[in-house]
């Protein structure tokens, strides 16, 4: 199901976006291509930039529909790399296959 893969990506991005909105005046999330849609799945890249004010011990919260579904420390996510200027950078690629992956079984 196409929606499942996109939901997973959206969870991570929503949590990061929530953190950025509530704890920072800079940083951002960039999609390439800029538009991603379940109706037209494409390979895409997400680049996350967190400002240097973010600490390794800061908590990111993933939210979906306003509910926190996961929390983790910035330093616990091996894809978020601290840069020489103190900011944090993460780049991840998502394939069409990932977007169209079936939903995990309900627990």
Residue 21: phi and psi, rounded to 5, are -65, -35
Mean pLDDT in residue range 97-106: 67
Domain boundaries, the chain: 2-99
pLDDT at 85 over 90: yes
Q: Is 12 exposed, middle or buried (0-12, 13-18, 19+ CB in 10 A)?
A: buried
Q: In Å, what is the CA distance from 23 to each residue of 77, 80, 96, 107?
A: 18, 17, 32, 33
**Confidence at residue 84, expressed as pLDDT on a 0 to 100 scale:** 94
pTM for this prediction: 0.59
Each residue of 12-28: pLDDT tens digit? 554 544 444 444 446 78
pLDDT band at 86 (very low <50, low <70, confident <90, very high): very high
What does the alpha-carbon distance between residue 96 and residue 33 come to, in Å, rounded to a whole number? 13
Question: Does residue 23 come out as left (phi exceeding 0), alpha (psi in the -120 to 50 range) or beta?
Answer: alpha
Each residue of 35-74: pLDDT tens digit? 877 778 888 888 889 999 999 999 888 776 788 877 888 8
What does the alpha-carbon distance between residue 37 and residue 51 come to, in Å, rounded to a whole number? 28
Three-state DSSP class for 14? helix
**Confidence at residue 53, expressed as pLDDT on a 0 to 100 scale:** 92
């Amino acid at each position: 199901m196409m929606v499942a893969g996109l939901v997973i990506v959206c969870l991570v991005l929503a949590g990061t976006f929530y953190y950025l909105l509530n704890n920072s005046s800079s940083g951002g999330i960039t999609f390439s291509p800029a538009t991603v849609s379940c109706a037209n799945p494409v390979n895409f890249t997400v680049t996350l930039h967190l400002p240097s004010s973010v600490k390794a011990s800061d908590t990111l919260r993933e939210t979906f529909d306003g509910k926190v579904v996961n929390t983790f420390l910035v330093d616990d996510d091996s894809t978020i790399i601290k840069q020489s200027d103190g900011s944090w950078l993460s780049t991840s690629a998502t394939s069409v296959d990932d977007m169209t992956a079936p939903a995990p079984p309900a627990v």
